[in-house]
Amino acid sequence: MKFTEPAGTNPIDRMTVVGRPQDRIDGPRKTTGTAPYAYERHAEAPDAAYGWIIGAAIAKGRIRSMNLDDARGAPGVLGIVTAAEAGKLNKGNFNTVKLLGGPEIDHYHQAIAIVVAETFEQARAAAGLVQIDYERAKGQFDLDEALKTAPLTGGEEGKPGKEDRTGSFESAFSAAPVQLDATYTTPDHSHAMMEPFASIAIWKGDELTVWTSNQMIAWGRGDLAKTLGMPKEKVRLVSPYVGGGFGGKLFLRADAVMAALGAKAVGRPVKVAMQRPLMANNSTHRPATSQRIRIGATKDGAIQAIAHESGSGDQPGGGPETAVNQTKLLYAGPNRLTSMRLAVLNLPEGNAMRAPGEAPGMMALEIAMDEMAEKLGMDPVAFRVKNDTQVDPEKPDRQFSQRQLVRCLEEGAQRFGWNQRNAKPAQTRDGRWLVGMGVAAAFRNHMNMKSGARVTLNKDGRVVVETDMTDIGTGSYTIIAQTAAEMMGVPMSAVDVRLGDSDYPVSAGSGGQFGAANATAGVYAACVKLREAVAQRLGFNSAELNFADGQVTGGNRSVALRDAASAGPLTAEDRIEFGTLDKTYQLSTFGAHFVEVGVDAYTGVTRLRRMLAVCAAGRILNPKAARSQMIGAMTMGVGSALMEELAVDKRFGFFVNHDLAGYEVPVHADIPHQEVVFLEEADDKANPMKAKGVGELGLCGVGAAVANAVYNATGVRIRDYPLTLEKHLDRLPTIA
Ligand code: MOS
């Protein structure tokens, strides 16, 4: 099904199952420990041996020699694979850096060997006996230093990069009576997902099956096949349950490659869970940014000029953190400049982490908006409302398909009690706490992705959906069951959803908050086909059929749905594809985040007190699951504001705090009351589901809302994330 025109009325609009707060159908499996994760495939691989990954101990250089003799002779050892043993491997399409290093080393903790043994402990002990002699080379690990000479991105292949300009920024900025020019920095972030990268690899002849933890089955399958130099038809990837990914599991990673190589070498299934202390440096991370923002406005607060220039770094051949995305679209203003610089760094590979681009971009832009509002003497809500735009500011004849940012801000302000905020900072005390409120807009683009599914009606009337879509803790099982139930007119309990297997049709996968809308649209497309097949089997001529309560009704005739399968199962397969509506219209999601914090007047520690998000993101398929996405993302936003930072050792080129003891993320005790409100919407330009996504919207803006609340509490502006206590302790208001 190709989606080329705005959606008309369709069966989803009934919203008898879709749009309701359904419980997660995978919930009981997860809470009883019966949902098998990648490392727990005991039935499929009862005799699996254990793999231990050795990571490089230098950031750049080469391995002069490796002595494996002692390790090979250690108890229980079945085999060791290094680059020398592995032979020629290719780099995956989605990998910037190869996943098995040696003799050249590209980054610290790049995998250089897998030790396979009968037990986990034996593999670990033997790995300690491997002797490696390195030749360390000089690398660039200092972003600030590297950005001094870093080129602009955005040029054509092989050509110099360029700025994006509309109007004349410099002259409009210098003529503006009120100006802001400030630089904001965000550190490197780690996905730090609960379930580590984990894989079990099984070879049968030249066919490879890998049980793994991955967000994008087709990408992973293709890249595993490419890496190993085999046809992708010979690779099966299975990932029906994923314990968090946040973008870290969008791509093939070392666990799957090393498990496959290990299993081949020892002739047995091999299971690998990447050791926690390896994860931060071995895998990808969200790159640090340095962002300069300039805003010029009239005295009454109309933005005349806005510039956002961001710099980040990556391995050679990598990409920038696209932190200027939202600044192209969020606020009005005739004179605009955005640009990105990309430095070459020899730190681990930078890549997507939840809301790549907008998450760190909004952390900067939405502090800048707060600072500008203060300069103007305007309320920060009113300043944002004044500069709303209903068209793409760079291409004014392009409208947003839907844009209720103003309503999100105004309704949020009212619900949160924003009028209680004292615009003058450091005025509100509650015992030892300096109390402040902050606001930020939320913004994240919506992406269309092709997505396929297969739907089968069985004799017993049950409907089975198969798609390689993943559920990374988001609720994919549930919203897909809701979609099929709504389309086929059966209860959710009559739908079986099978996910995360490369034997199933290729879906959008889970990423970029595109998963829910696109994967369900693919299921919708397959269900439309199945409805046609049902109609034909049951001998209906009319196209106007009603599927409800297990019956198919047309004219004055009503037949049980299951009768269509009495002669055998009926199967239909299709995928959703898209025309150019996303070019004609700008498809985006919006929201407003409100935060109240207390800053300890004596210690400088910040504690959250209240959070509210109001969102407008198209049809909300399952308000309960969507709320969970929001509160999870808001929690992550608090982490990015107050805690999260991969500390770079600029001498040796690695992230120092590479475990969950050193890399701090919020825990339950850090997070107070969170409220989430969804405005009623249905975006007919997005897809037949009229849905977009919220999984990343929930994060975009939160960091700045926290930072703005901290400023309102203390009167000390911090532009360097995370907002740890030492950054304002010496400037806090004097304690009487
Ligand atoms: Mo998301 S960073 O695209 O999984």
With cut-offs at 50, 70 and 90, classify the pLDDT of residue 541: confident
- Closest C-alpha among 627, 586, 629 to residue 448: 586
Query: For ligand 1, is residue 709 a contact (CB within 6 Å)?
Result: no
pLDDT (tens digit, 9 = 90+) per residue, 297-352?
Answer: 999 999 999 999 999 999 999 999 999 999 999 999 999 999 999 999 999 999 99
Q: How far does residue 515's CA lie from ligand 1's centre (Å)?
A: 10
- The verdict on the CB of residue 193 being under 6 Å from ligand 1 is no
Residue 111: is its pLDDT beyond 80? Answer: yes
Strand partners, 673: 610
Nearest-atom index, ligand 1, CA of 353: 2
Q: What is the pLDDT of residues 381-438, one digit of tens each?
A: 999 999 999 999 999 999 999 999 999 999 999 999 999 999 999 999 999 999 999 9
Whether pLDDT at 280 is above 80: yes
* Known catalytic residue at 410: no
Of 189, 251, 354, the one to substitute when testing ligand 1's pocket (max ligand atoms within 8 A of C-beta) is 354
- Over residues 26-52, the pLDDT tens digits come to 999 999 999 999 999 999 999 999 999
What spacing in Å lies between the alpha carbon of 215 and ligand 1's midpoint? 9
Per-residue b/e over 296-327, b at no fewer than 16 CB within 10 Å?
bbeeebebbbbbbbbbbbbbeebbbbbbbbbb
- How many Å lie between the centroid of ligand 1 and the Cα of residue 239? 16
Judge whether 547 and 486 are in contact, CB under 8 Å.
Answer: no
Secondary structure E strands in 425-471? 429-430, 433-445, 451-457, 463-466
Beta strands, E only, 551-667 = 551-554, 557-560, 570-578, 585-586, 588-600, 606-616, 648-649, 654-655
Widest CA span in the chain: 85
Ligand 1 touching residue 512 (CB < 6 A): yes
Ligand 1 centroid vs 564 CA: distance in angstroms?
40
What distance in angstroms lies between residue 621's CA and the mean position of ligand 1's atoms? 20
Cβ 350 under 6 angstroms from ligand 1: no
Residue range 504-527: mean pLDDT, rounded: 98
Measured CA to CA, the distance from residue 665 to residue 190 in angstroms comes to 10
The response to whether residue 357 sits with its C-beta less than 6 Å from ligand 1 reads no
Closest ligand 1 atom to residue 250 Cα is 4
Q: What is the pLDDT of residue 423?
A: 97
Average pLDDT on 89-117 reads 98
Distance of CA 633 from the midpoint of ligand 1 (Å): 12
Mean pLDDT for the chain overall: 97
The ligand 1 atom at the shortest distance from the C-alpha of residue 354 is 2
Residue 310 · residue 361 · CB < 8 Å: yes
Q: Which helix (H) or strand (E) holds 624?
A: helix 623-642
Give the global pTM: 0.97
**CB distance 447 to ligand 1 below 6 Å:** no
CA 514 to ligand 1 center in whole angstroms:
9
- 379 CA from centroid of ligand 1 (Å): 34
d(CA 596, CA 712): 9
Q: Is the confidence at residue 543, as pLDDT, over 80?
A: no
pLDDT digits (tens, 9 = 90+) for 610-650: 999 999 999 999 999 999 999 999 999 999 999 999 999 99
Axis-axis angle for helices 254-266, 217-228 (nearest 10): 50
Distance 354 CA to ligand 1 centre (A): 5
- Percent of the chain topping pLDDT 90: 98
Question: What pLDDT is recorded for position 157?
Answer: 81
Residue 192 contacts residue 662 (beta carbons within 8 Å): no
Mutation choice for ligand 1 from 284, 353, 446, CB with most ligand atoms inside 8 A: 353
354 lines ligand 1 (CB under 6 A): yes
Could you tell me if the CB of 187 is within 6 A of ligand 1? no
Position 542 pLDDT exceeds 80: no
Residue nearest to atom 4 of ligand 1 (CA): 247
Ligand 1 atom closest to the CA of 249, numbered from 1: 4
CB 353 less than 6 A from any atom of ligand 1: yes
Q: Is the pLDDT of residue 736 over 70?
A: no
Element holding 410 (H helix, E strand)? helix 405-416
Please tell me which residue in 573, 596, 645, 696 is annotated as part of the active site: 696
Candidate from 94, 250, 251 with most ligand 1 atoms within 8 A of CB, to mutate: 250
Whether ligand 1 lies within 6 angstroms of the CB of 216 is answered as: no
Gap between the Cα atoms of 215 and 29, Å rounded: 19
Ligand 1, closest atom to CA 247? 4
Q: Which residues of 128-161 are buried (b: 16+ CB within 10 A; e: fewer)?
A: ebbebebeeeebbbbbeebbeebebbbeeeeeeb
